[in-house]
Structure 1
Amino acid sequence: MIQNLKPWLLTALALYGLQSAHAQNPFITNQFTADPTARVFGDRVYVYPSHDIPAAPGRGRAGWFVMEDYHVFSSANLIDWTDHGVIVTQNKVPWVKPDSYSMWAPDCIQRNGKYFFYFPTTPKDTTINGRGFTIGVAVADKPTGPFVPQPLPIKGVRGIDPNVLIDKDGQAYLYWSQGNIYGAKLKDNMLELAAEPKTLSELPTKGLKEGPYVFERKGIYYLTYPHVENKTERLEYATSTSPLGPFTVKGVIMDESPTGCWTNHHSLLPFKNQWYLFYHHNDLSPNFDKNRSVRIDSLSFAADGSINKVQPTLRGVGLTSAQQKIQLDRYSRLSKQGATIAFLDTANKFQGWKTVFSGGGGWVQYNGVAFGQQKLKTVSLRGTSSAGATVQIRLDNASGPVVAEVTVPKGAAWQEVKAPVLAFKSGTHALYVAPKSGAGAVEVDWVRFE
């Protein structure tokens, strides 16, 4: 979290326009992000998403996806994320229609010391590859850029959602979608097709298919993709013994959104001996699913290589330091009555959420809080209560030791209040937070130990 950074690093972040983000889902909360491609370069994970923005007069089409540029984010631990800023924008690519606002799902791959960023959008000259979307490349010496766009898109490619696989033998493949999903070998320069595209026709014929992401694990090639089987996209996968198939459809990675978000788009990777699924949902825009936000959850494989279905969470991944602001609204468990989650400010949803306790026995549990070994003496809580209330914080569960009781004074304004830690316990624990028995209604933004 940014409040824990050293002064010299804060200065550097401000100087270069970099921003810190949170670990919980969604893990980017200062802007809309979608279609996350995650890659490991060196000892960091880099995420290349698309960037949804609200439509405005002269800026995109109302009621539709509006995207004009790309950012890149990175993390060494999947908890603390840094925004490295804009790397490619539509009005600085020679071949792109400058007012298309169609910079859709990208990818980035490293080869021979160069980083190749692939992105789809609308060309201003339809004689290049025909009408509709095509795919271009920008090249950099570092994963964060600066990226230099090529003067023309890739010849012979029409479509969206580029994805690149470099196989064990060094052969690179480009995948994309346009009604069907296609794959083709790339030349060593990573800028041109080396062969005619192949239609990967073994996939479902019913419903939209797009967003391919291909990876290899233990000799099996996994083609993963969003597919509209019913009303919205779910994440599915097929497998093969060859990068270009034939593929056999195997199953579902993530079910359709329970809230009706029309799209999903994803990537998968191993990092420090754990696999993760990166995907998106419309957390910060619940009433408009064209403004999405990126998420991470853990993923695993069965012994036969099949992918175990991922259940989306708000808690996300990784441990949260007890000395950071613990956003209880990104809970692991929530009581069915007496506790709800709401936006702090419905006019500015980027401010995030709060936990609302109605005084009826509600509680929230947040797993994976790392207390470390050094004794922490106080707890801070940001809350508000019109009648005043005492919040009780326990370790692990409802019958765990009471670590603190924090009294939120009567008043309408948000207040940061402190209380002593009553029973410090080192190690990693869950927090179980609830109003003390008989307490009135109270709202909590976050808690933090010091």
Structure 2
Amino acid sequence: MKKQFLSILLPLLAGAGAQAQNPFITNQFTADPSARVFNNRVYVYPSHDIKCGPGQGRPNWFCMEDYHVFSSDNLTDWTDHGVIVSQDKTNWTAPTAYSMWAPDCVYRNGKYYFYFPAPAKDTTKGRGFSIGVAIADKPEGPFTPQPEPMANVRGIDPNVFIDKDGQAYMYWAQGNLYMAKLKENMLELDGEPVVIANMPTQGLKEGPWLFERGGKYYLTYPHVRNKTESLEYAMGNTPMGPFTVTGVIMDESPTGCWTNHQSIMEYNKQWYLFYHNNDLSPRFDKNRSIRIDSLFFEPDGTIRKVIPTLRGAGLTKATNPIQIDRYSHISPGGASIAFLDTTNTFGGWKTVFQNTDGWVQYNSVDFGSQPLKTLQARVVSATGATLQVRLNSVKGPVVAEVPVKSGNQWQVVTAPVKGKPAGVQNLVVTLKGQGSCEVDWLQLAL
């Protein structure tokens, strides 16, 4: 029965692909997340990295052939609504370019407008990227691409902002950052493109994303100041500036991921930064994964720098698998994180406890109000060990002690829950006594 249980459960866990932790999509590569709130639900429109095969775009470069959309009402459980636009089903795009880069989506007059850059198959009007629009009645589609790209727009990374007075604007990148008003039909520019002034003159700039808060307009963008992209912003009093370069939202990636790409939105009175890193592809940063972290403002309206976390945002139900490798805090020694399978990074990570000095803390677990009776853990230990789970600190109340028999195979072990944990609390996991142990996930049950 245990083998049968494992054979059913493990594929479900590996294929879920949508979690509360960073990265929050783990069954495919995703990048450049544009996050929007529609009907009190968060929709994320990322680009979709794939591993290039023969004849698929430029070797050892970005390779993207379509777009998915993901949604959530709690920033924890994400639904993949599938492909919404692809290069081989759009009239004007080059069907073998594999360069469908960063998109955006907005709502206007009962329709959803999805903006996406791609090389056109008709190069008589010039090479490089054009920007197309696909239209839908629902935020998840189905989307119908317009037969031709937008006129008088050349570049990448479209972002559309609709101001409180109803005027729509579009921002994009092509060496410089550009902006223009949009006509009411959302398909045409209302005037000539304008180069956004006062931006940094050195280093690559791309991915503009504009939002408004408290009457101030924030123009955010990735910028290569050194070797890789940091996320920066400028502030102005109108959607078209003038803007003043103000600060850094996120420093360069500590893993050396060359790109980053952001969107910022407010949901249930909290602001969030969506971005990407190369978590699932540490040796090839053209395959990226999208992340989310909370964002805060200082009293003067400036943005507090975001320190990227593995924990991400949202609550994790105690009765769902808890991936403690996406920790909030980790001990200086005695604990580490590794891939479960280096040949299949989509399988996720494990936490390795080498000794009793090691611990990990995983924040914001919702225990609910009903008594929880058991805790399960998927574990393996060559030496045999006892896994200890506490609340809030390494000296907090013990939730469970999980005895792990020695062996070389993963096993799911069940232990009784001690006390009556309830509400939202943090978990701290460590070892009791001697030995070592590897942990895939924890899960509590009623």
1:449 aligned to 2:444? yes
| Offset from partner CA, 1:398-427 (integer Å, 9 cap, x none) | 110111110111111100000001222211
Q: Is the 8 A contact 1:361 1:437 kept in 2?
A: no
Q: What residue ranges of structure 2 are gaps of 5+ in the alignment?
A: 1-11
1:433 aligned to 2:429? yes
| Offset from partner CA, 1:179-210 (integer Å, 9 cap, x none) | 00000011111001110000002100000000
Q: Which of 108, 128, 132 matches 1:132?
A: 128
| Offset from partner CA, 1:209-235 (integer Å, 9 cap, x none) | 000000111111110000001110000
Q: Give the alignment's Cα RMSD to 1 decimal.
A: 1.2
The 1-side partners of 2:16 and 2:183 are apart by 37
1:215 aligned to 2:221? no
What is the match of residue 317 of structure 1?
313
Q: Is the 8 A contact 2:356 2:430 kept in 1?
A: no
| Offset from partner CA, 1:327-380 (integer Å, 9 cap, x none) | 000001111111110001111100100001112521111111111111101100
| Offset from partner CA, 1:140-177 (integer Å, 9 cap, x none) | 11101110011110000110000000111111111100
Q: Is the 8 A contact 1:20 1:82 kept in 2?
A: no
Q: Is the 8 A contact 1:337 1:360 kept in 2?
A: no
Q: Is the 8 A contact 1:65 1:102 kept in 2?
A: yes
What is the match of residue 203 of structure 1?
199
1:80 aligned to 2:77? yes
Q: Which of 233, 240, 264 matches 1:237?
A: 233
1:402 aligned to 2:398? yes
Provide the secondary structure at the position in 1 that maps to 2:410. strand
* AA partner of residue 107 (structure 1): D
The 2-side partners of 1:402 and 1:75 are apart by 33
What TM-score does the superposition give when structure 2 sets the normalisation length?
0.95
Give the drift of 1:127: 2.5
What is the match of residue 40 of structure 1?
37
Provide the secondary structure at the position in 1 that maps to 2:409. strand
Provide the secondary structure at the position in 2 that maps to 1:350. helix
What is the match of residue 377 of structure 2?
381
Map of 1:175-186 to 2, 5 A cutoff? 175-186=171-182
1:105 aligned to 2:92? no
* AA partner of residue 248 (structure 2): V
* AA partner of residue 141 (structure 2): G
What is the match of residue 48 of structure 2?
51
| Offset from partner CA, 1:116-135 (integer Å, 9 cap, x none) | 0000010011234x211110
Runs of 4+ in 1 over 2 A off after TM superposition: none
The 2-side partners of 1:19 and 1:26 are apart by 13
Provide the secondary structure at the position in 1 that maps to 2:255. coil
Provide the secondary structure at the position in 2 that maps to 1:221. strand
1:255 aligned to 2:234? no
Provide the secondary structure at the position in 1 that maps to 2:232. strand
Provide the secondary structure at the position in 2 that maps to 1:22. coil
The 2-side partners of 1:77 and 1:329 are apart by 21
Q: Is the 8 A contact 1:137 1:153 kept in 2?
A: yes
* AA partner of residue 31 (structure 1): Q
What is the match of residue 68 of structure 1?
65
Give the drift of 1:19: 6.1
Give the drift of 1:20: 5.9
What is the match of residue 5 of structure 1?
none
Provide the secondary structure at the position in 1 that maps to 2:377. strand
Q: Is the 8 A contact 2:222 2:229 kept in 1?
A: yes
Q: Is the 8 A contact 1:35 1:266 kept in 2?
A: yes
Give the aligned length. 432
Provide the secondary structure at the position in 2 that maps to 1:412. coil
Provide the secondary structure at the position in 1 that maps to 2:408. strand
The 1-side partners of 2:410 and 2:442 are apart by 13
